Amino acid sequence: MTQRISHWIDGKTWAGVPERTGEVFDPATGEVRAHVDFAGDGQVDEAVAAAARAFPGWRDTSLAARSRVLFRFRDLLAQRKDELAAIITAEHGKVLSDAAGEIARAIENVEYACGAPQMLKGGFSENASTNVDVYSIAQPLGVVGVISPFNFPAMVPLWFVPNALACGNTVVLKPSEKDPSASLFIAELFAEAGLPDGALNVLHGDKVAVDGLLAHPVVKAISFVGSTPIARYVYETGTAHGKRVQALGGAKNHMVVLPDADLDLAADAAVSAGFGSAGERCMAVSVVVAVDPIGDELVDKIAARMGGLRVGDGRSPDSEMGPLVTAAHRDRVRSYVEDGVSAGASLVVDGRSLEVDGGGFWLGPTLFDHVRADMSIYTDEIFGPVLSVVRAGSYDDALALVNASPYGNGTALFTNDGRAARRFQNEVEVGMVGLNVPIPVPVGYYSFGGWKDSLFGDSHAYGPEGFHFFTRTKVVTSRWPDPSQGGVNLGFPRNS
């Protein structure tokens, strides 16, 4: 008997019988470790109804009481981070230290949400007109949906859930069906922190659950993170149903290395950002653009570092890189390696030959050189441990390559030339830029979001834009007149 994972609705585990379930694997062994219930329309209705019932009470819970729940949740998360990291590693496969890093970044977002009383202060203009005051109030939207991808099963839900709750909304979270347990752990910690039943519900499943949330008339907003085709679909469908939608999509992040850069530091960064989490990060570096004449030297340095990478079970402290999330995903990534070879790219390090004991979903770090912009290993988001090096003749050629990409999530420039760096930050059409920083994920008090096909909608995730997304503003104009000031006046009110 494997473990059963079910929905968390109205403060408890759903007790019904599912019509459909999915398998959850341990990627390091290939074994099925659990079956997860898939929601049908009935469970979508139940979860949304629970959130709708909880909304009036939570909306009217004082700012002080709401932020105290978040403070308690933050402490519980910090105390129990090792348990959560173990859950992430068991279902996702990433190494424990990487899972701990994801939780640390998640905690930053909870800490930001703890400051809700400061963030939700409105403006007040005394005497905007004589004896008339004008002020603004930021109010919650109601029930909001959060739909997250497999690659950050704790951090991405916690990009949205704390801020949504801090603003007074109630939430239905639909995590990835590939690694659903982290969301349940989070929901239980929120309950322990004092969050009322129904304020956070976890609904498991696939497209059926997502479509149910997108069409549900009670759901006011959707925060989505996943691949670009699904992000575009979620944005178009959700907005067609009158919802506010932010949908973050996929990426192909370029790291440009100028000839004056420290090539050892650049090679360290390319390997760390290319193969951390087996390349299953939306901010992974997947393309290195080597500007002439340093290409050969840089490729040698990257290849030398790859030789020393230890790939194995994420639970072992010796492992630096774990398996891929499923066999199907590993096979897809592997097929890109075959495509790259057939298209004529130089295969410098071939990860297909990696052998690890057990039946896990393994693929070793792979490096291609002399990749061209028309090859599928360049155009497509592979989302695995495959790094491509493209040669560019000049800074201008490198910039043009980055800007021609339909994606615009993250990019990095490695250089010691401050003027080149300033030019790059000004000219590059990408939402998050690292200057000698390979994975420029903004801290919790900025906001996270790409440009172009990496984000649909106009609000980035978390930070100030997160608060903006989860509230709507009401402006009140008030006066308390003396009875002697009456009288009918059909003219348009003007300020005096």
Active-site residues, by number, are: 282
Half-sphere CA count of 81, side-chain side, radius 13 A: 17
Summarize as ranges the residues that interact with ligand NAD (CB under 6 A): 147-152, 156, 174, 176-177, 206-207, 210, 225-227, 230, 248-251, 282, 381, 383, 409, 450, 454
141 vs 225, beta carbon nearer ligand NAD: 225
174 vs 220, beta carbon nearer ligand NAD: 174
CB 279 → ligand NAD: shortest distance, Å? 10
Q: Work out whether the CA dihedral 418, 419, 424, 426 comes out positive or negative.
A: positive
Alpha carbons 496 and 486: distance in angstroms, whole number: 16
Residue with tokens 């585990």: 13
Contact, 370 vs 341, CB < 8 A? no
CB 145 → ligand NAD: shortest distance, Å? 11
Alpha carbons 373 and 380: distance in angstroms, whole number: 10
Give the single-character DSSP code of 57. Answer: H
∠ Cα 444 449 451 (to 5°): 160
Task: For strands 143-147 and 219-225, give the pairing.
Answer: parallel
CB 74 → ligand NAD: shortest distance, Å? 22
Which of 423, 430, 438 has the alpha carbon at shortest distance from 401? 430
295 vs 463, beta carbon nearer ligand NAD: 463
Give the single-character DSSP code of 311. Answer: B
CB 337 → ligand NAD: shortest distance, Å? 18
452 vs 472, beta carbon nearer ligand NAD: 452
Alpha carbons 138 and 472: distance in angstroms, whole number: 6
Residue with tokens 């993170």: 225
Classify each residue of 327-361 as buried b or exposed e, where b means 16 or more C-beta atoms within 10 Å of its C-beta. Answer: eebbeebbebbeebeeeebeebbebeebebeeebb
CB 295 → ligand NAD: shortest distance, Å? 27
The SS3 call for residue 463 is: helix
CB 159 → ligand NAD: shortest distance, Å? 8
Alpha carbons 139 and 145: distance in angstroms, whole number: 17
249 vs 463, beta carbon nearer ligand NAD: 249
CB 414 → ligand NAD: shortest distance, Å? 22
CB 56 → ligand NAD: shortest distance, Å? 28
96 vs 325, beta carbon nearer ligand NAD: 325
Reading the block at residue 224, the tokens are: 């989505």
Contact, 144 vs 173, CB < 8 A? no
207 vs 479, beta carbon nearer ligand NAD: 207
Q: Please report which residue ranges of 128-262 form alpha helices under DSSP H.
A: 157-166, 181-192, 207-215, 228-240
Residue with tokens 């790859």: 306
67 vs 176, beta carbon nearer ligand NAD: 176
Alpha carbons 440 and 434: distance in angstroms, whole number: 5
User: 457: which residues sit within 8 A by CB, 6+ positions away?
Assistant: 235, 244, 245, 246, 247
Alpha carbons 164 and 178: distance in angstroms, whole number: 24
314 vs 408, beta carbon nearer ligand NAD: 408
CB 44 → ligand NAD: shortest distance, Å? 13
Alpha carbons 14 and 436: distance in angstroms, whole number: 48
Residue, CB closest to ligand NAD: 226
State the DSSP H helix or E strand holding residue 109, giving kind and residue range, or none if neither: helix 96-114
Contact, 256 vs 291, CB < 8 A? yes
